[in-house]
């Protein structure tokens, strides 16, 4: 099916290069990364060499000044190889935009070039043991003193937590307002906890972070003091869109490997795909996938025009991620006992899919946002 996104010949050439990167630099190594529970920093630098990191950053700060469709291509090609360890989209589409949008020029010159080259890996620390989607409940404190802040607290479930060099940290001031501070690797009192053991995303590092009287200079304050909550709300729509993009493409991959299997595997003297139940299930899933793709593409176009897509992005996120979870479960069923074996890609896809409806706002939070958009 033709896409409604306005891809040009340049976009297609970029897609071919991006596909080559993920086929040669990610796919062959993913199993090893899963065993190690982390990806090597070298792959980040290789991605930088290919021009795959922060492509839409302004050329003044090392980027290509590319449009958002280049980010879309990177997300889709990443998902096509089943990548769930190299969290390139978190770096490109979720965290770097905070720097591009809210940091001053001095900060951009200091941080962005290395983010583009892969020398610096980004993380964002919002979630705490007692505060997830409810950011107003966060407790990590920042006490202002002279030319710096003294930060104390704990963060958890932080993606890229082990690898990151720059961590945008949400902190609360004594007056209850929230700010974003850039905490840098090597700052005294900043410590990483263990690399958390998850049921899926085995190659991706997820960590606890500890802040013990960390002195963060005021020159690392992103934007205006006390405006952190507003900044976070402004960028969440894009975060949810890119997760929906990954969910749609991951679902497509699952359907593709399942189609291949049911066209070859036989039971009771005939191919599994010839049974009416199998045909109907696959037909339903294929239809739902294409309908999701069209709506998602529509919202991406609106997002690129600068329109407010908060509600629509929440719709995309909850529907696409729930679809991914449901379709992966249904497809695994067609593999029978083999689907439960980790040597089959469908098994890893099943485990990796489970987080999709939880992080970046749960399905329930998405529905709450949509409900408020309806005036309820």
Task: Decide if 74 contacts 18 (C-beta within 8 A).
Answer: yes
- Which of 25, 128, 239, 249 does the annotation list as catalytic? 239
CA-to-CA distance for 215 and 189, rounded, in angstroms?
8
DSSP per residue over 70-83, as a string? HHHHHHHHHHHTT-
Task: Decide if 32 contacts 50 (C-beta within 8 A).
Answer: no
Classify strands 206-217 and 148-159 as parallel, antiparallel or unpaired: antiparallel
CA-to-CA distance for 78 and 302, rounded, in angstroms?
23
Residue 242 makes CB contacts below 8 A (sequence gap 6+) with 71, 75, 89, 93, 94
Hey, CA dihedral for 363, 369, 373, 375, is it positive or negative?
Answer: positive
364 assigned to active site: no
CA-to-CA distance for 172 and 344, rounded, in angstroms?
45
SS3 content of the chain, % helix, strand, coil (to 5): 55, 15, 25
> Would you put residue 275 in left (φ > 0), alpha (ψ -120 to 50) or beta?
beta
Collapsing DSSP to helix, strand or coil, 123 comes out as: strand
CA-to-CA distance for 143 and 191, rounded, in angstroms?
19
Hey, CA dihedral for 270, 274, 275, 277, is it positive or negative?
Answer: positive
Cβ neighbours of 147 (radius 10 Å): 9
* DSSP count for the chain of H helices, then E strands: 12, 10
User: Could you list the active site residues?
Assistant: 239
């Amino acid at each position: 099916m033709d896409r409604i996104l306005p891809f040009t010949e340049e976009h297609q050439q970029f897609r071919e290069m991006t596909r080559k990167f993920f086929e040669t630099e990610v796919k062959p190594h993913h199993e090893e990364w899963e065993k190690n529970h982390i990806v090597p920093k070298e792959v980040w630098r290789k991605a930088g060499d290919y021009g795959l990191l922060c492509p839409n950053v302004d050329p003044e700060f090392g980027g290509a000044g590319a449009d958002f469709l280049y980010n879309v291509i990177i997300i889709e090609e990443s998902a096509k190889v089943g990548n769930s360890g190299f969290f390139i989209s978190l770096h490109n589409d979720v965290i770097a935009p905070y720097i591009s949008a809210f940091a001053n020029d001095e900060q951009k010159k200091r941080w962005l070039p290395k983010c583009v080259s892969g020398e610096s890996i980004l993380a964002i620390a919002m979630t705490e043991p007692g505060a997830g989607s409810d950011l107003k409940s966060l407790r990590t404190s920042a006490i202002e003193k002279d030319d710096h802040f003294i930060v104390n607290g704990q963060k958890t479930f932080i993606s890229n937590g082990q690898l990151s060099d720059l961590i945008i940290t949400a902190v609360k001031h004594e007056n209850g307002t929230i700010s974003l501070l850039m905490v840098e690797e090597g700052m005294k009192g900043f410590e990483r906890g263990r690399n958390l053991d998850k049921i899926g995303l085995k190659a991706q590092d997820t960590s606890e972070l500890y802040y013990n009287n960390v002195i963060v200079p005021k020159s690392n304050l992103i934007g205006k003091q006390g405006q952190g909550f507003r900044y976070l709300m402004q960028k969440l729509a894009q975060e949810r869109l890119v997760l929906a993009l990954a969910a749609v493409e991951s679902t497509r991959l699952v359907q593709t490997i399942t189609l291949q299997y049911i066209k070859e595997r036989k039971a009771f003297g005939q191919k599994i795909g010839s049974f009416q139940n199998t045909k109907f299930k696959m037909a339903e899933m294929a239809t739902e996938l294409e309908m999701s793709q069209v709506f998602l593409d529509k919202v991406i176009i609106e997002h690129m025009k600068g329109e407010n897509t908060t509600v629509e992005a929440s719709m995309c996120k909850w529907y696409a991620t729930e679809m991914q979870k449901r379709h992966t479960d249904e497809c695994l069923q067609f593999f029978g006992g083999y689907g439960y074996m980790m040597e089959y890609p469908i098994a890893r896809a099943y485990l990796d899919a489970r987080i999709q409806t939880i992080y970046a706002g749960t399905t329930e939070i998405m529905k709450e946002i949509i409900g408020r958009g309806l005036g309820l």
